[in-house]
Structure 1
Amino acid sequence: MKNINFFISLFLLACSCKNKVDEINSQQISIAFDSLKVEKLTSIHENSSQEGDIYFQDTNFFFVDKRFGYLYLYDKEGNYLKTLFGQGESPEELNTAYIDGYAMDHKGNHIFLGSSFDLHIHRPDLTREKTTILDWKGKKNVNEVRENALDNIDQFALYTLDYLNLNMIADSKGNLFIPIYSENEKFNAFTGEKYYKEGKILAKYNFKSNKVEKLLGQRSDEYLKYNYIPHHAWFSYDLDSFDHFFINHEIDPKIYYYDNDFDLITTFGTPGKSMDLEYKEINQFDLKLFREYYTNDRPKRGYYHSLKCLNGLVFRSYTKNESSLTHGLQIYKDFILIADVEVPKGLKVRGYIPPYYYGSVYDEGSDKVEVYRFKL
């Protein structure tokens, strides 16, 4: 195994480095602290639909209301400032219905994705730049691709947007990454190992060409141990400052680190604490059973549900088990676990405004999105 300290130094000094390293020992641990003081900051505006999440710009954060199309702006202390956007046809309104996905690019442009592959781009001053439709055609006839699914795994027409996991992220090179999955009758999460071995997970859309130019990634080999668990087939991901990918699959304790060509650099990661891993299998195409497991069984199990890269740290949140009153948050530095602490159930780390890290929780009891913060 190559020396990890050498790799880290070389990587930080020369971000164009293409050297690959072997898998880092998954048990590399250097605990810096064993607890975290997490404080509730605010609840999102009572007039919002509570469907959405928080995002960050400069010293403020805002909540994107997916149902009503508003952006509720807050200062770093959680004080509500004003409401932006809203649905409509004026230059500073959104001409879409439900917002399925949101991202901010490196220029501060706001990017909204609607339910009909409609993409809406607004400048930092909120005025509309353009509205377009994602070009999802690919190079082959759509009917041919769908009829011969197993021979066309790299074709766009075989996939659709993963609306239950639509975490869109823009890189610094003018691309937008969008989670995808396949529901083709011959190629889906119920039908065989090939889906888990070769199925793609991200679409790479280019703003300049207005086309989806490439499909990327694959699922973890951990899924091959089951027959099958489509109700746990999601993943979380983020990009670092080099446009490299950190990807984590729900049932896999490993975190996968790829370069921007999606070549694997290394894997790392330590299993979370007190996780119930007794996943129930579905060995036939049964949507009724899938819905039952997704609704009633999934919340009882332990799985990794969000990942965020901030200030050279990787934050990974996970659920534990049915009886647990808290969830877990792992923090990695230089691929080494430095903390695994208890946090409020559902907490996802979302951003940083010095000196605080911020996270969000959807509280089912209050039916509200709540914002938390903590220091390291």
Structure 2
Amino acid sequence: MINSLIKKTFSKNLFVFVILLIAIVFSSCSGSNSKEDSLFQNEFEKEIQIDTLFFSVPQSSQLGSFFINDKNLYYVDQLFGIIEQFDENGNQIRRCLQVMNGPEELMSITEVIPYPSGFIVRSDWQFYFYDKDWNYQRKFMMDTDDGVPFDDLVNNPKPSYTAMYELQNYDQKTTYFDGQLLVKLDVEHPKFNAFSTRAYYKEASIFGFININTGKLKLIDLARPDSYDAYSFIPFHIFFDYHIGQREIFTTFESDPLIYKYDLNFELQDSFGETGKEMLTSYPQTDRIEAAFDNSLFSDSRNKDGFYKNIFVDKDFIFRTYRQGTKGESYSELKNPLRLQIYSQKQLVQDIALPNRFKILGKIGDTYFADGYFNEQEEKQGLFTIKME
């Protein structure tokens, strides 16, 4: 638990589907043949247009991801340490950055965070600042020292001790928010953890702010929802995703069908949501700290269990993906069926099958962009685009 992108070749394959057919097509991508895929849960009159941007990446490590900023698309190759910029039509603009190339001594790229003055590149606990032209400015390391005596930290851990926390390693997400960096947190203290401490689920902070001037971490007083009381210990399903809207923050937790809406002060305002279709949620429960070192348990939680995954919020719709789970042998999360829920005005209006790599990144104009297209056999890589009309 505990590449180089070179000259871009862009081509389009335009598929226009009436919403009654889109689920059937996606079902064939994910290996599902359920007749329910073509049924509406509520009346939904939108037509969906699916398009694909293909990128020629002969030197890509295939260990990369895209992000969106100011109507531009960026590809980050985590292994080769390269960032490339493209316009919304897939035309290459420039290579922005390459690790170990410059005075900043950037060794790796965990994620890239756009902010008003440029970009922040996270490399584990270090954060590197660049201006809008990708000129290096400065860096800092996250500082969790809160002055708590070492003996107290080791022998009498409390959820208010900042020094106990670390950045969540699974599905990392850092966002520039209100002049600070909003980060997802975890605790892996021998006496305070998800494997053997019930207080972890009730009291451990899930968010923190990092001061962009000092690197100091400040905990946000927000823990996991009460739905975790239904389990004793489910340490492999503690993860969550979030999206910051104009005046609110939305979260979704792996084991919880509800979507939670908070105001910008992290006060709960509302919750809503429906259970996914035929999800397998009989999660193995454990109270043994030794389970943290059993890689097979974590693998099964990704490959076989059903869980809610990513959330993206637009002014008209909320999109949430989830894994259904599978009873058969599965050695990869990509074999675990993926579906998409679409909500409008807090009501579920559609639930459709997806290709097994699919994560909505953002919207440019009236087009949504989703990361995840990759054909291993033909070594084609790209983005899905979605229009709802």
Is the TM-score greater than 0.5? yes
Does structure 1 conserve the Cα–Cα contact (< 8 Å) formed by 2:121 and 2:129?
Answer: yes
CA distance in 1, matches of 2:45, 2:323: 20
Question: Does the 8 Å CA contact 2:304/2:336 hold for their aligned counterparts?
Answer: no
Quote how far apart the aligned CAs of 1:261 are. 1.5
Report whether the alignment pairs 1:95 with 2:100.
Answer: no
Unaligned stretches of 5+ residues in structure 2: 1-40, 329-334
Counterpart of 1:248 in structure 2 is 252
- 2:384 aligned to which of 360, 369, 372: 372
Could you list the per-position Cα deviations for residues 54-75 of structure 1 after superposition, in whole angstroms to 9, with x for gaps in the alignment? 1112332111222332112223
Q: Name the CA shift for 1:239/1:321 in 2 (closer, same or farther; >3 Å).
A: same
| Equivalence map 1:65-76=2 (5 Å) | 65-76=77-88
1:109 aligns with 2:124: no
Distance change (3 Å), C-alpha of 1:42 and 1:142: farther
Shift of 1:213: 2.5
Please point out which of 176, 181, 186 is paired with 1:170.
Answer: 176
CA drift at 1:235 = 0.4
Deviation of 1:232 after TM superposition, in Å, equals 1.4
- 8 Å CA contact retained: 2:113, 2:121: yes
**Selected match of 1:291 from 292, 295, 299:** 295
What's the TM-score once normalised by structure 1's chain length?
0.82
**Partner of 1:278 in structure 2?**
282
- Matched to 1:270, the amino acid is E
Mapped to 1, the partners of 2:322 and 2:375 lie a distance apart of 17
* Amino acid of the structure 1 residue aligned with 2:118: N
Q: Give the corresponding residue for 2:61.
A: 49
Amino acid aligned to 1:153? P
Q: Match of 1:153?
A: 159
CA distances 1:206-232 after superposition (whole Å, capped 9, x unpaired): 224432223342113232222322111
The equivalent of 2:244 in structure 1 is: 239
For residue 184 of structure 1, give the secondary structure of its aligned residue in structure 2.
coil
Deviation at 1:37, TM superposition (A): 4.6
- Per the alignment, residue 200 of structure 1 pairs with 205
CA distance in 1, matches of 2:179, 2:159: 25
Residue 348 (structure 1) aligns with = 359
How far off its partner does 1:236 sit? 0.5
Matched residues in 2 for 1:302 and 1:34: separation? 28
Q: Where does residue 27 of structure 2 map in the other structure?
A: none
Equivalent residue pairs, number:
340
My pick for the range that moved more, 162-171 or 45-54, is 45-54
What is the CA distance between 1:183 and its match in structure 2?
0.6
On the 8 A contact 1:142/1:157 being kept in 2, the answer is no
Matched residue, 1:189: 194
Instruction: Name the aligned partner's letter for residue 179 of structure 2.
Output: G
Q: Distance in 2 between matches of 1:44 and 1:299?
A: 29
Q: Distance in 1 between matches of 2:279 and 2:249?
A: 25
For structure 1, which runs of at least 5 residues remain unmatched after alignment?
A: 1-28
Which deviates the most, 278-287 or 313-322? 278-287
Deviation at residue 370 of structure 1 after TM alignment? 3.9
1:24: which partner in 2?
none
SS at match of 1:104: strand
Amino acid at match of 2:187: S
Distance 2:260 2:159 in 1: 22
What residue in structure 2 maps to residue 118 of structure 1? 126
* Alignment deviations for residues 127-153 of structure 1 (CA, whole Å, 9 cap, x no partner): 11211122221242344223211xx20
Q: Contact 1:257 / 1:265 at 8 angstroms: preserved in 2?
A: yes
Question: Do the aligned partners of 2:195 and 2:291 also contact (CA within 8 Å) in 1?
Answer: no
CA 369–291 in structure 1, closer or farther in 2 if over 3 Å, else same: farther
Identity of aligned residues (%): 25
Contact 2:185/2:205 (CA < 8 Å) preserved in 1?
A: yes
| 1:179 is aligned to 2:184 | yes
What is the CA-CA distance between 1:256 and the residue it aligns to? 0.9
